[in-house]
Chains A and B, each alone.
Chain A
């Protein structure tokens, strides 16, 4: 990563000039978090009476893990420092 920074920052200058974007996307993970919390509450109350603890812990943990996974993936792409680069694309694409 570090070793490539100089190269990537070089390439990035080309795209600073034509990009202006808001930080609206930053709120998306928080919305996701709210959804995850809501889902967790839903699971807490919807868990069947038999083996309630197992249902609750498993369900809420699953939601939490999936939320984390999604949020990390989303955040990593929010403000990319690297830009996809390829030289094998045909003109149609």
Chain B
């Protein structure tokens, strides 16, 4: 990573930054961090582009309302589309024109819709009223009928209109109460729902007619019904008059429909055209905007003719940037300077599609410090393998491998489709899943577990003696050991768990110890890289000795105990757990000796471990104490000059400049005390934490055995139709439960445990973190989903 400085003449700044964005390898620093967002140089341009984007969003809403499909090309390659500043101007103008035109069209459609609704309602009112007036009605209407005819011919004593269906009953009730029943109310449902342009919804409506006496009462009815959103229409009580109005209305309605149809068609064809290129336009504008946002990071020179930008770039890629600057020069010269700096550069780990997921796994915990050992690299193997130790089953591993392999095989087509959250997680971690599956098959082979059954591939090292049915027998060991993995003879024995329990516990301790030591070595690599001798002497060596003296010794003892044929020597095999405990509690005495001179060796190791604790605690702080004292002495001699220089210097620098600020001795001491306590306790607790490998792998094996016996085993031996059906059914049940419980659920849990082992147990041994992620200015990934624009 190198910090570079760019001098770009204003005239060509936009094009240059545009090209830099296409290549996408500079992380620009904000040189105007103190300047308010509204006071920056290119606010006007950004606002203009924001406005265009707003217009595009408006188009998108309109398009989606009309259910026109937006042409969205996932392969749309931004770098293919070069667009000049004048091209952007055209887009801006076009956007404005289109918006005006669309708004006009929408407005006229709305007015037409309102008019249409009005006419439709009038038509319904006329038809229904006609029906009522002419009806020689038999029942309740009969009494009112005379009244209608008489009164109606005299003066208008009725109100007609249309009301939303939900409110028509309310209206009837209110009128009934207000007029004390002194009215005639008729209500009919209008079958077709009526479109309301204001709310853009269709509403079910009712026709109603109310008869009553008196001018004032009619007025009151009108007011009440209008307050309930009813729309009232005047209807002639005279038959001929009504017919005339109806014909008129019908004709108007037909005319209106033609106009409306053509308007809507124009609107839709307009939108269809927009929909074709909306995605492209939006990404172009989005990129243009990001260019100006970057330009806002730049500083002006004194003459305000050149923009000055600073940014981080991978050192290997400086030449490429120089070329871009040359290509864009157009007679004006851009300059690139490499800056010397004390700032910490951002951390950049180059990834490909395979390592990306693993890198993300580690970055989720913390971004590595600049030039620190990248935890992501060993994680590629250790993460899936730790998982596999807990998930060891050849069959389950095979299912997982198949699933992951299909994700990998179809990755191109799957990358295009829209994925929901969980599926997307599985997809982006497909290479992790693949390795997890493959390693599970390896460990499953070692555990000799295939869906909880064993395979006899090599010759078993155990032989069963002659026996009767039901006789308890013990196998006899042959002269060799089963070549690869667990001997199949253990399968199904009464004391199989006894053996696998001890085996897997020791396996997890050994694996854990080796994993931690391996991770601890990275801290050495870090210290060597940063040339921090004091950390090697004061941190690494005492820590290493402490860890090895206790758990390294335990691991060696485990292996040693395995390698001795205790039965041949005729001695009882000592318990290692007791040995380790008594090594601390009663040093110098050994109850069951494992090897000669054990007591002395243990006392020696214990002494080393105990000496390491004060070393870990004191060496580093003492070193800094001496250094600080020397500096203080120096300062006392040259104090006055130094201080003057510093105060003069201090004001000039940038605010976010990091200076090597001297830590107080107290800080160092406290930090080291915490580190010492943490390290010593963690040595024990982290080793114990690896026992989760033991617990989970045992649980997994037991669970798959139980599942087998509970389901499919019951079907074996059954014959006839019942046998066939039960076999099919139980097999299905076994398979589904295997996938759901053993592969998905157990897999998730084992994965989380493995993640913890990496984040806590492994990474705490060397990982400093606290770095900043390298996020270069790049057009790619600027607009991944069109959804995000709304």
B499 at the interface (CB under 8 A from A): yes
Main secondary structure, interface of A, reads helix
B interface bracket (residues with beta carbon within 8 Å of A): 35 or more
Assess A89 versus B464: contact at CB under 8 Å? Given A1-B498, A69-B446: yes
B303 at the interface (CB under 8 A from A): no
The reply to whether A19 and B352 contact each other, CB–CB distance below 8 Å, is no
Chain B residues with Cβ below 8 Å from A26 are: 563
Chain A residues with Cβ below 8 Å from B468 are: 91
The reply to whether B381 and A82 contact each other, CB–CB distance below 8 Å, is no
The reply to whether B474 and A83 contact each other, CB–CB distance below 8 Å, is yes
A52 at the interface (CB under 8 A from B): no
Contact of A58 among B380, B514, B572, B575 (CB under 8 A): B380
Contact of B481 among A11, A18, A61, A78 (CB under 8 A): A78
Within the complex, the shortest CB–CB distance from A43 to chain B, in Å, comes to 12
Contact of B501 among A1, A5, A21 (CB under 8 A): A1
The reply to whether B492 and A83 contact each other, CB–CB distance below 8 Å, is no
The reply to whether B563 and A11 contact each other, CB–CB distance below 8 Å, is no
1/0 per residue, CB under 8 A from A, across B368-394: the answer is: 000000000110111001000100000
Chain A residues with Cβ below 8 Å from B567 are: 12, 15-16, 19, 79, 81
* A-B residue pairs in contact (CB < 8 Å), sample of 12: A5-B575, A26-B563, A54-B352, A61-B380, A62-B385, A69-B511, A73-B446, A74-B482, A75-B559, A84-B495, A84-B499, A85-B475
Within the complex, the shortest CB–CB distance from A73 to chain B, in Å, comes to 5
The residue in chain A whose Cβ has the minimal distance to the Cβ of B486 is A73
The reply to whether B578 and A89 contact each other, CB–CB distance below 8 Å, is no
- The stretch that binds A, out of B62-70, B97-105, B502-510, B748-756, is B502-510
Chain A residues with Cβ below 8 Å from B479 are: 21-22
The residue in chain B whose Cβ has the minimal distance to the Cβ of A20 is B568
Contact of B507 among A2, A65, A76, A84 (CB under 8 A): A76
Chain A residues with Cβ below 8 Å from B501 are: 1
The reply to whether A70 and B484 contact each other, CB–CB distance below 8 Å, is yes
Within the complex, the shortest CB–CB distance from A45 to chain B, in Å, comes to 19
The residue in chain B whose Cβ has the minimal distance to the Cβ of A12 is B567
A80 to B481 CA separation, bound complex (whole angstroms): 10
Chain A residues with Cβ below 8 Å from B481 are: 25, 28, 74, 77-78
Assess A80 versus B477: contact at CB under 8 Å? Given A69-B442, A73-B485, A85-B493: yes
Chain B residues with Cβ below 8 Å from A69 are: 389, 442-443, 446, 507, 511
Assess A77 versus B486: contact at CB under 8 Å? Given A18-B476, A58-B380, A70-B446: yes
Assess A79 versus B381: contact at CB under 8 Å? Given A1-B498, A25-B480, A69-B442: no
The reply to whether B563 and A86 contact each other, CB–CB distance below 8 Å, is no
Chain A residues with Cβ below 8 Å from B378 are: 57, 61
The reply to whether B477 and A15 contact each other, CB–CB distance below 8 Å, is yes
Chain B residues 532-568 with CB under 8 Å of chain A are 559, 562-568
The reply to whether A57 and B475 contact each other, CB–CB distance below 8 Å, is no
B648 at the interface (CB under 8 A from A): no
Within the complex, the shortest CB–CB distance from A79 to chain B, in Å, comes to 4
Within the complex, the shortest CB–CB distance from A74 to chain B, in Å, comes to 6
Chain B residues 562-618 with CB under 8 Å of chain A are 562-568, 570, 572-573, 575, 577-578
The reply to whether A14 and B377 contact each other, CB–CB distance below 8 Å, is no
The reply to whether A89 and B473 contact each other, CB–CB distance below 8 Å, is yes
Assess A65 versus B575: contact at CB under 8 Å? Given A1-B501, A80-B477, A86-B493: no
B142 at the interface (CB under 8 A from A): no
The reply to whether B446 and A91 contact each other, CB–CB distance below 8 Å, is no
B471 at the interface (CB under 8 A from A): yes
The residue in chain A whose Cβ has the minimal distance to the Cβ of B489 is A84
A14 to B713 CA separation, bound complex (whole angstroms): 35
Chain B residues with Cβ below 8 Å from A93 are: 464
B744 at the interface (CB under 8 A from A): no
Within the complex, the shortest CB–CB distance from B408 to chain A, in Å, comes to 16
A66 at the interface (CB under 8 A from B): yes
A32 to B496 CA separation, bound complex (whole angstroms): 26
Chain B CB within 10 Å, residue with most, of A15, A16, A72? A72
Chain A residues 1-56 with CB under 8 Å of chain B are 1-2, 4-5, 8-9, 11-12, 14-16, 18-23, 25-26, 28, 51, 53-54
Within the complex, the shortest CB–CB distance from A65 to chain B, in Å, comes to 5
The reply to whether A91 and B469 contact each other, CB–CB distance below 8 Å, is yes
The reply to whether A84 and B474 contact each other, CB–CB distance below 8 Å, is yes
B22 at the interface (CB under 8 A from A): no
The reply to whether A73 and B572 contact each other, CB–CB distance below 8 Å, is no
The reply to whether B469 and A90 contact each other, CB–CB distance below 8 Å, is yes
B76 at the interface (CB under 8 A from A): no
The residue in chain A whose Cβ has the minimal distance to the Cβ of B578 is A2
The residue in chain B whose Cβ has the minimal distance to the Cβ of A76 is B503
The reply to whether A82 and B495 contact each other, CB–CB distance below 8 Å, is yes
